[in-house]
Structure 1
Amino acid sequence: MDWDKLRIFHAVADAGSLTHAGDTLKLSQSAVSRQIRALEESLDAILFHRHARGLILTEQGEVLFAATRDMSRTLESASARIRDTEDEVYGELRVTSTTGFGTLFLAPRLPALYTQYPDIKIDLMLEERVLDLPMREADVAIRMKEPSQADLIRKRLMTVTMRLYASEEYLRANGRPETIEDLADFRLISQNIASAQVSVGAQLIRELTARPLRSSFTVNNYFGVLQAVINDLGIGVLPDYVSEDFPELVHVLPEVASGDIPVFLAYPEELRHSRRIAAFRDFVVEEIVAYRRARQS
């Protein structure tokens, strides 16, 4: 079977479009179409249903796509292992994390990692969906719960708690709540209860919004909550790690807090000896140790 035709088929199946696949492969749409027709003729099978809105795999196409997907992952894994035999840390590292932690804690600290390893190429994927590490949807994950997938090396990094914060200017203009009942006279800023988030954080928001509130503002991620708080909009529900990087935040009602949220780093067993993984893991651990020391001082 022609490997080049399989590569083109995989790109088309992945994109669902001859045009998009051609852009990825730097081939014309007609060239891609010819290769697909030639592959179908060699297999004596129809691989795609053609529709005005794009291409849909046939049953035979699904079988072949599953095989090329496995081949692609195997080649990616082999390439990573070959690169990791070198002394230098370089190449692509796909990191997945929640939007909140990735935006507010991890991304601001990455310049230090790039200073140490200038040739590394990090693809930071921020989403609440748990990516499948054994299937190589990502190389390493930082999640707000212990991963349940098998064949993963995992390390507990820290514990996060959701708390209430406001700006000095907002408190100066509106006063400061002394009890949880006082929140009725303030504007509460929180992540939308319907958006993806850790369960204990959602539970705290649910408890707070069940009480009468003069005003509220919701947004679908913690970065939006933080921006609203530092711009004097109200009292926000935020992860406590933001207090170190944003010392202007004022912690209000210390007795109001969520349950503990464990933060884990995980990566596939097959990447145990990866220099890129080790460099990233050690960097994150060092940053969290520094964060803990700063909070204790």
Structure 2
Amino acid sequence: MLDWDKLRIFHTAAESGSFTHAAEKLGMSQSAVSRQISALEDDLGLKLFIRHARGLVLTEVGEQLFRTAHRMHWELQQVETQMSESQDVPTGPLLVTTTVGFGSTWLSSRIHEFLLLYPGIQIEIKLNDAELDLAMREADVAIRLHRPNQSEMIQRKLFSVHNHFYASKSYIAEHGEPTDVADIDNHRIISFGEPVPSYLGDINYLERMGRPDSSPRRAAVKVNAIYGMMQAARAGIGIAMLPDYVVEGEDQLQMVLPGIELPAYETYFVYPPALKNSKRVGVFRDFIVGKAREWQF
């Protein structure tokens, strides 16, 4: 039978990408971590890592063992959390994932209030435009900018995200405000760089709006992040189509051509059935749903 302590060290090393970083997390020496990994490889008779100057790369067998160890680690965390949640006050870690744009603006600006309400919960936010797999325990809950593809997941619609055209006040002062769709041709535009995530399928609508498919507008700047597009618009580079959540509180940006109807998408709070009775998930869900109801742009 495999030694769980060695597996725990292996799991940390695989997540960290190096023995040095794993040693810092575990409070061990780098040489002790290396010895434990070597001992585990000897027990298995297999190599788990390819070692090189830039860090550790899992072998195929190492990948398989890491997935198993990751599930075991998550399940142990859930047992510990369930034991702590037998108390009236929810406590323990909560891993939340969402997109970089949404997480770095709308979500992050509201987390402080949640922590004041529930100081016993430790929030970790993983911002990733590539979706983490909740079924594989890569996160506890997710805020998705589309209806979840996995039908077994518990989901709660939060709100519709609307897009509008924005430019900085300084840009408008220098170049004027477009009066209609055709007038966009006389302005610089900012687009999302390739590849465009599927949930943002129409984010570059400004390139195509009112133009033949064979002759789209050419962007002055392309940025492969919504937050980066907002900062480029704020800096006066040009006009960008942005979701309203990313410009919340931005007094340097002005909406242009506000009467044009633009693509919108739905936002959902999602978590796996295994966590339906989790107090941490429940209070966080209720908090986010409440904030979504308050949010009116």
TM-score by length of 2: 0.85
Q: For 1:4 and 1:185, how far apart are their aligned partners in 2?
A: 65
Contact 1:243 1:249 (C-alpha < 8 Å) held by counterparts: yes
Deviates more, 1:255-264 or 1:57-66: 57-66
Cα distance 1:68–1:253, how it changes in 2: closer, same or farther (>3 A)? same
Cα distance 1:227–1:32, how it changes in 2: closer, same or farther (>3 A)? closer
Q: After superposition, where does 1:66-105 map in structure 2 within 5 Å?
A: 66-105=67-106
The aligned residue for residue 265 of structure 1 is 269
> Offset at 1:243?
5.2
Q: For 2:22 and 2:252, how far apart are their aligned partners in 1?
A: 49
Deviates more, 1:133-142 or 1:162-171: 162-171
Instruction: Work out whether 1:236 is the aligned partner of 2:237.
Output: no
Contact 1:145 1:264 (C-alpha < 8 Å) held by counterparts: yes
Contact 2:134 2:271 (C-alpha < 8 Å) held by counterparts: yes
Q: Deviations over 1:127-153 (max 9, x none)?
A: 111111121111111111111124311
Q: For 2:216 and 2:62, how far apart are their aligned partners in 1?
A: 55
User: Which letter maps to 2:46?
Assistant: I
User: Which letter maps to 1:47?
Assistant: K
Figure out how many residues of one structure are paired with residues of the other and give that number: 291
Deviates more, 1:108-117 or 1:129-138: 108-117
Contact 1:193 1:206 (C-alpha < 8 Å) held by counterparts: no
Cα distance 1:103–1:197, how it changes in 2: closer, same or farther (>3 A)? farther
User: Which letter maps to 1:270?
Assistant: A
Task: List gaps (5 residues or longer) in structure 2.
Answer: none
CA RMSD of aligned residues (A): 2.7
Aligned to 1:202, the other structure's residue is in SS state: coil
Contact 1:128 1:197 (C-alpha < 8 Å) held by counterparts: no
Seq. identity, %: 38
The aligned residue for residue 109 of structure 1 is 110
Q: For 1:50 and 1:181, how far apart are their aligned partners in 2?
A: 57
Contact 2:167 2:256 (C-alpha < 8 Å) held by counterparts: yes
> Offset at 1:56?
5.3
Q: After superposition, where does 1:1-297 map in structure 2 within 5 Å?
A: 1=1, 2-15=3-16, 17-43=18-44, 45-48=45-48, 51-53=51-53, 61-62=62-63, 64-196=65-197, 198-208=199-209, 210-212=215-217, 216-242=220-246, 244-246=248-250, 249-292=253-296, 295=297
Aligned to 1:266, the other structure's residue is in SS state: strand
Contact 1:184 1:211 (C-alpha < 8 Å) held by counterparts: no
Q: For 2:128 and 2:75, how far apart are their aligned partners in 1?
A: 25
Q: For 2:142 and 2:270, how far apart are their aligned partners in 1?
A: 5
User: Which letter maps to 1:137?
Assistant: E
User: Which letter maps to 2:192?
Assistant: Q
Aligned to 1:123, the other structure's residue is in SS state: strand
Aligned to 2:220, the other structure's residue is in SS state: strand
User: Which letter maps to 1:277?
Assistant: V
